[in-house]
Structure 1
């Protein structure tokens, strides 16, 4: 399944604006951009929150994209109708994409199992929902879990919930759960620590604007990159502010693939393609026409390119040596020319 590394996921989220044709267009555009997978979110507003319109059921954070919204209405707007899932998954599969979802409650897991999804994603806000994690683990399928906001203890508890059920393949994503996330809050070096204390493969769920964090994460060994996707930011969409448009997603895919390719393997002495370039290193050459018997001095020799003469490190050793035979200007100096 994860033939490409990093495995790049386009998250449709609620950017389809409840328009089925738009959702299909997004999948076509994501495939054209070169991603490996598309992901939906599976929930209903009534399984996310209560329909209460005051107090903590309102988004109140000053810097939130959704400030002033009632949670129930927000989730209703952002949700993907369940009857869309099968045709969208089938469309994605027909275009060569892996298609899966993030379930947000037990009924969503049951529903997604009827569609035989190949893997599951646990969202960062659900990482402490141990019953949900256990339900997904019981499917036996690969799991991706975002770790935004989670402490080490909470991450370990989530992993233990999985391992208490089975040995599902498990990938953990570094995630900054602000929308959009500031690049300076991404703290990508956490990925290596996350891999170290969990023993899991790691990746990035990226809510920053642009592709820098995704490329940097790839260079640090990310096996999965998840990025929100939208056809046109200016047209709106609940997550449009931190989502990538098709051309940008194509650039991200290309840049991440290039970053991965650039890592290569530990290599010294030059790659195979570099060997021909070694001729343009410097070496010691005869810098004037010289007669046999000449005692070599700095006036007779020069360290220049190319590299067919003795290496520059032998400069002190050749000064004061005597030529055995005549030498021409431009002749590489070799040991057999000297007495």
Structure 2
């Protein structure tokens, strides 16, 4: 089966969904808030907390030309540089955040946006890397990450099938042995109908990789539904307060919602189970409410069973009703009492 392993946690179809809480910009400039988010992610049951590692100068240019202006959406009115100056997680925080996560026992890794970010994360001993959707076309970055030998998760928002294949080939070609991809819609927030979750099993068949969902919808419905279609990883943005005013707060989960996501995706995964037409453990006590054949009169050994001597009723401890016509005309091999089940041992031959 397709699996990867992050920090000793196996991820794949035979394991519960791996839940990644995306801290992103939801610290809103406060390291104390960032530390609290890590604590709440652990309390909610997430498997990992994820950062984004960039500075404004490593992700864009300081320009106010039209190409760099954001003219609609959540961040309208800012330049790219202004947005990333506002949203970035200072590099000097990273060690403290990594140490806190490790102390709490929750995995921590990041999305690097250039090679210097990868170098920083390698110094911190990051156990895995996530390639953000908009960087899925940055094949040199993917190759640089692959050469670390760590597991890599590539988000595919905005990438077409050929671009996903190019990213996968770049990762594999540079030595990545543990690779996963995420179905993603790079809208903030994204409507659930844009997700086309039936793409997930197609991706699994097409690319042969551990596959999951990077979910930017406003609730957990899409993420839970994705588990039924085979998603092995779920990534959701996470904040302490959706009304906090930060760049990503408005489309992030709050602590009670992340707790529900961690719980409900596991319930959905367990419900998938296996192909099984047999009687389930929860049904064993309900045989009483199933129909079967019962004698409705006292009869002696050698008497012939007639239509008026047996009846299909509840409970289900006797012969199956489908056998009724086969029993008519058969002699009893022993005496039977009224209101007792028809058993094989009652019948001659």
Question: TM bucket by the smaller chain?
Answer: over 0.9
- What TM-score comes out, normalization by structure 1 length? 0.93
Which of 123, 129, 142 does residue 120 from structure 1 map onto?
129
Pick closer, same or farther for the CA change 1:311–1:257 going to 2, 3 Å.
Answer: same
Alignment of 1:53 with 2:94, yes or no, is no
1:25 aligns with 36
Please give the alpha-carbon distance, in whole angstroms, between the structure 2 residues aligned to 1:270 and 1:295: 34
Please give the alpha-carbon distance, in whole angstroms, between the structure 2 residues aligned to 1:291 and 1:110: 90
Which of 167, 184, 187 does residue 175 from structure 1 map onto?
184
Gaps of 5+ in 1: none
1:261 aligns with 270
Bigger mean CA deviation after superposition, 266-275 or 251-260: 266-275
1:10 aligns with 21
Please say if residues 287 and 317 of structure 2, whose CA atoms lie closer than 8 Å, have aligned partners that are also in contact.
Answer: no
1:105 aligns with 114
Q: 1:272: Cα distance to partner?
A: 4.9
Q: Give matches, 1:188-199, under 5 Å.
A: 188-199=197-208
Please give the alpha-carbon distance, in whole angstroms, between the structure 1 residues aligned to 2:296 and 2:60: 85
Bigger mean CA deviation after superposition, 237-246 or 217-226: 217-226
Which of 195, 217, 220 does residue 208 from structure 1 map onto?
217
Show CA shifts across 1:205-235 (max 9, x none).
1111111111122222222111100001122
2:55 aligns with 44
Please give the alpha-carbon distance, in whole angstroms, between the structure 1 residues aligned to 2:344 and 2:27: 75
Q: How many equivalent pairs are there?
A: 337
Q: Give matches, 1:224-263, under 5 Å.
A: 224-263=233-272
Q: 1:116: Cα distance to partner?
A: 1.6
Please give the alpha-carbon distance, in whole angstroms, between the structure 2 residues aligned to 1:334 and 1:158: 65
Q: 1:187: Cα distance to partner?
A: 1.1
Which of 111, 129, 132 does residue 138 from structure 2 map onto?
129
2:3 aligns with none
Q: Give matches, 1:63-82, under 5 Å.
A: 64-82=73-91
Show CA shifts across 1:226-245 (max 9, x none).
11000011222211222100
Q: SS of the residue aligned with 2:213? A: strand
Bigger mean CA deviation after superposition, 183-192 or 30-39: 183-192
Show CA shifts across 1:263-322 (max 9, x none).
222223224554454454321001244567765444432211222221111111123445
Q: 1:335: Cα distance to partner?
A: 4.6
Alignment of 1:154 with 2:163, yes or no, is yes
Show CA shifts across 1:76-101 (max 9, x none).
11100001111011101111111110
Please say if residues 152 and 176 of structure 2, whose CA atoms lie closer than 8 Å, have aligned partners that are also in contact.
Answer: no
Pick closer, same or farther for the CA change 1:43–1:297 going to 2, 3 Å.
Answer: same
Please give the alpha-carbon distance, in whole angstroms, between the structure 2 residues aligned to 1:331 and 1:5: 47
Bigger mean CA deviation after superposition, 100-109 or 302-311: 302-311
Pick closer, same or farther for the CA change 1:184–1:320 going to 2, 3 Å.
Answer: same
- What TM-score comes out, normalization by structure 2 length? 0.90
Please give the alpha-carbon distance, in whole angstroms, between the structure 2 residues aligned to 1:285 and 1:79: 75
Q: 1:327: Cα distance to partner?
A: 3.9
Please give the alpha-carbon distance, in whole angstroms, between the structure 2 residues aligned to 1:60 and 1:186: 24
Please give the alpha-carbon distance, in whole angstroms, between the structure 1 residues aligned to 2:343 and 2:110: 69
Please give the alpha-carbon distance, in whole angstroms, between the structure 1 residues aligned to 2:26 and 2:128: 22
Bigger mean CA deviation after superposition, 152-161 or 328-337: 328-337
Show CA shifts across 1:137-173 (max 9, x none).
1111110000111111111111111122113310001
2:290 aligns with 281
Pick closer, same or farther for the CA change 1:295–1:145 going to 2, 3 Å.
Answer: same
Show CA shifts across 1:186-208 (max 9, x none).
11111111121211111111111
Alignment of 1:314 with 2:335, yes or no, is no
Considering only aligned residues, what root-mean-square deviation do their CA atoms show, in Å?
2.0
Please give the alpha-carbon distance, in whole angstroms, between the structure 2 residues aligned to 1:196 and 1:25: 39
Q: SS of the residue aligned with 2:70? A: coil
